């Protein structure tokens, strides 16, 4: 629950942003704070596709496959991808993209508030690179 002080501060900040002239950054983009509501609204419009949605689409396409079996199929495919990545293999799905396992070295970061150095340990990350076919489908207008 917000205190009355933080509500007043939030209201003052909103009034300031609403009354402020549009700010331009070096690259010509308006201040991100002023564009934030529009960006959030765009995200709300986009639907997230879940495992259940994929299983439903598969069972609708393959009428001989029940939803339960389609869900088991989707789960087993995702589990197989995860197992391959866990064992250190890269996963390539033609026409979709590549899941690549990368090692990131140890480095020193900074706490942005105090500017104190913070050690960041070595770690492995999974990155995804979309295939050219997927990129053209996404960017098609």
* 138/95 same-domain check: yes
Whether the Cβ atoms of residue 103 and residue 122 lie closer than 8 Å to each other: yes
> Tell me: the pLDDT tens digits for 43-53?
667 789 999 99
Residue among 81, 75, 46 nearest 58 (CA):
75
Average pLDDT over residues 15-19: 44
Q: 95 with 82, same domain?
A: no
Domain count, the chain: 3
Same domain, 99 and 115: yes
Task: Output the domain CATH number for residue 125.
Answer: 4.10.520.10
Looking at beta carbons, which pairs linking 49-52 to residues 24 or more positions away fall under 8 Å? Answer: 51/75, 51/78
Asked if pLDDT for residue 29 goes beyond 80, the answer is no
Residues 108, 118 contacting (CB under 8 angstroms) = yes
Looking at the DSSP assignment, which residues form a beta bridge with residue 117? 110
Same structural domain for residues 83 and 94?
Answer: no
Most confident range (mean pLDDT) of 7-16, 18-27, 49-58 is: 49-58
Give the pLDDT confidence score for residue 45 in this predicted structure.
72
Which of the four pLDDT bands, split at 50, 70 and 90, describes residue 21? very low
Domain housing 55: 49-87
The enclosing H or E element of 40 equals helix 32-45
Tell me the per-residue pLDDT of 101-118, one tens digit each, with 9 for 90 and over: 999 999 999 999 999 999
Residue 129 reports pLDDT greater than 80: yes
């Amino acid at each position: 629950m917000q205190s009355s002080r933080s509500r007043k501060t939030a209201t003052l900040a909103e009034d300031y942003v609403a009354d402020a002239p549009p700010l331009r950054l070096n690259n010509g983009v308006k201040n991100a704070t002023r564009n934030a509501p529009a960006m959030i609204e765009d995200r709300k419009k986009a639907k997230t596709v879940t495992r259940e949605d994929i299983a439903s689409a598969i069972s609708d396409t393959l009428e001989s496959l029940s939803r339960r079996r389609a869900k088991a199929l989707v789960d087993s495919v995702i589990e197989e991808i995860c197992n391959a990545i866990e064992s250190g293999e890269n996963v390539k799905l033609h026409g979709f993209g590549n899941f690549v396992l990368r090692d990131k070295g140890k480095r020193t970061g900074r706490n942005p508030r105090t500017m104190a150095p913070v050690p960041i340990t070595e770690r492995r990350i999974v990155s995804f690179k979309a295939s050219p076919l997927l990129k053209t489908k996404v960017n098609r207008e």
